[in-house]
Structures are given as C-alpha cells and as structure tokens.
Amino acid sequence: MAAVLETVGLEKHFGGLTAVAGLSLRIEKGARHALIGPNGAGKTTVINLLTGVLRPSSGRILLEGEDITSLESYRRVRRGLARTFQINQLFLDLTPLETIGLAISERNGLGAQWWRVVGSNPVVVEEIVEILARFHLTDVMYERTGNLPYGKQRLLEIALAIACRPRVLLLDEPAAGVPEDERHEILATVAALPPDVTVLLIEHDMDIVFSFADRISVLVNGALFVDGPPEEVARDPRVKAVYLGESLDA
C-alpha cells in the first residue's frame, strides 16, 4: 500500500526542549490510524507540524508523495489535508450554516468572490444541507455558534473539517470534553466517515482507539516507540510498561 501521508526524520525543538525527535511515520491510504502516547509525548506538536501551524526544525513531510514541508497551512488544506482541534476552534459569531457555507465556498475556489451573495450557488447550498444533516446540526443551523451546547460545537468542529472534503483527516481528540451521554453521537459520526478518507486519530481514551483504529503508533518523548496493528501493540510488553499498563488492565 502507498503511504498517503509520510514524515521523514521530523524534528521540532522549542529552545532546549525536543518535542519531536526524528519521527518517521507512514500513514497508508484509507487507514484508520491512531497516534497515542503519554502526556507530553508530542502528539499535538506532530499534528501542528503536519498541518503547517508549526515549522519543523528539520525533516520532511510528504503528502501523496509530494513534499509539503514548507507549504503554508491553507495550501495544505487545499491539497486535501484537513484537521480538527483538541479545543474547539470555531467562528463563534457565525452560524453553523455560515460556517459550513464558508468552508465549501473556499474549497470550490469561490471564497474570494466579493460580488455574489453567499449561498446564491445551488450546488453549495445542497452540500451545506447534506453536511449539516449528516452531523445532526440542522436544528441549530441558524443559531450563533457561540450559543450552541458543547456537544453540538464538537460536531461542528468535525463537520467543518469534512466540509473541506479532505483526503487525509487529522482528528485531535474528537471526544475531548464531551459529556458521556453525547459521546456516542460524536463517535458514531467519526465511525461513519467515508472509507476513502484516511484518518489519523489522536486520542487518550483507549476504548475509542481500539474500537476505531486498524493501526496504532505509540509516541514516546517525541519519537516513534512502537508501530503496528492494534493486537500487536496491545500485547507489546514495552508499551504496557510505558503507557498502556494501567489503562488496559484497569
């Protein structure tokens, strides 16, 4: 299988601190890949490097074989690499309708249009409606995002990434902070993502990781510690020792 997203010797230093140390990661096309590791292992830094929020100190990032290491954030999105954030990053003053409409307009290259009114394109409207329905946001689509309950905001966070129609989706703890009774809604939508979208999931909750992932990479101190299918990673004594021990045996 071809790697759709790959890092080669990726490093990131913050002053004297090494957050990511020579990480070489391969994510196969169509994979459900989980990136796990103890607190401070550098998981979110990896996501920020992959999406271009941070620039690596050294190393390369390849998307579908092309070097995107020095590409700006927004250009990576246009090439099909989208993400969600661990802490919601939404447009609080816009409605879900406007938010999704904006993302779709941008993807279609209509974002710089300054003469037409938003939503005057029927194709865009059709897709807005479809995405809002898929993420259970239809009933709140006219409300200000800042006024929505947290669970709905979390759904919008994922819907917004999907509206970019990514080929590779990076999910940074999608269920973080969501109350127990709303969790299943989030996880169901994550599980229902189209199979051709490659997903890299960062997650603390081991139940979610093992129910979702077909491959797991364990990150420790910014380096790849173990990489393999879930059964293998779960059995690995080294993994148990550094990380999984308590959460698996509990």
Partner 1 sequence: MPSSVEDQVAHHLAARARWRPLEYVFWLAAVASVFLLPGRHLILTEIAWLALFALSLDLILGYAGIISLGHAAFFGLGSYAGALLAKYGIVTEPVLALLVSGLCAAVLGFGTSFLVLRGSDLTRLMVTLGVALIMREIANQIPQLTGGADGLQGVIVGPILGMFDFDIFGHVSYVYCLIILFVLFVLARRIVYSPFGLSLRAIKGNSLRASSIGISVNARLVAVYTLAAFYAGVAGALLAQTTAFASLDVFSFERSADLLLVLIIGGTGYLYGGLIGAVIFKLMQDWIANLTPQYWQFWIGLVLVLIVLVGRDRFGSWTGGVRALAARMLRRFSGGVAPVPVPPGEGR
Do residues 218 and 203 make contact, with C-beta atoms less than 8 angstroms apart?
no
Residues 6 or more apart from 45 whose CB is under 8 A from it? 12, 19, 20, 54, 222
Parallel/antiparallel/unpaired status of strands 168-172 and 3-14:
unpaired
* Closest approach of partner 1 to the CB of residue 100, in Å: 10
* Piece of 9-17, 35-43, 112-120, 224-232 that binds partner 1 (CB under 8 A): 112-120
* Closest approach of partner 1 to the CB of residue 64, in Å: 17
Listed residue (91, 62, 65, 86) closest to 163, CA to CA: 91
Phi, psi of 83 (to 5 degrees): -145, 165
The first and second tokens of residue 234, run together, are 């779960």
> Which of residues 35, 50, 160, 168 is near partner 1 by CB under 8 A?
160
* Closest approach of partner 1 to the CB of residue 167, in Å: 13
Do residues 5 and 200 make contact, with C-beta atoms less than 8 angstroms apart?
yes
Q: Does 179 bind partner 1 (CB under 8 A)?
A: no
* Closest approach of partner 1 to the CB of residue 155, in Å: 13
Do residues 218 and 239 make contact, with C-beta atoms less than 8 angstroms apart?
yes
C-beta neighbour count of 105 within 10 angstroms? 20
Between 73 and 211, name the residue whose CB sits nearer to partner 1.
Answer: 73
> Which of residues 72, 214, 231, 232 is near partner 1 by CB under 8 A?
72
Listed residue (97, 11, 95, 4) closest to 46, CA to CA: 11
> Which of residues 83, 178, 220, 224 is near partner 1 by CB under 8 A?
83
Listed residue (212, 192, 184) closest to 134, CA to CA: 192
Q: Does 94 bind partner 1 (CB under 8 A)?
A: yes
> Which of residues 3, 8, 90, 176 is near partner 1 by CB under 8 A?
90
Between 129 and 242, name the residue whose CB sits nearer to partner 1.
Answer: 129
* R_g of the chain, CA atoms, integer Å: 19
* Piece of 27-35, 129-137, 203-211, 225-233 that binds partner 1 (CB under 8 A): 129-137
Torsion of CA 193, 199, 61, 100, to 10 degrees: 30
* Closest approach of partner 1 to the CB of residue 240, in Å: 35
Do residues 82 and 161 make contact, with C-beta atoms less than 8 angstroms apart?
yes
**Interface of this chain with partner 1, residues 51 to 70, rule: CB under 8 A:** 51, 53
> Which of residues 105, 153, 189, 217 is near partner 1 by CB under 8 A?
105
What is the size of the binding site for partner 1 (CB under 8 A)? 53
Q: By the criterion CB under 8 A, which residues form the site for partner 1?
A: 51, 53, 72-74, 77-78, 82-83, 85, 89-94, 97-99, 101-103, 105-107, 110-120, 122, 125-126, 128-129, 133, 136, 138-143, 160-161, 163-164
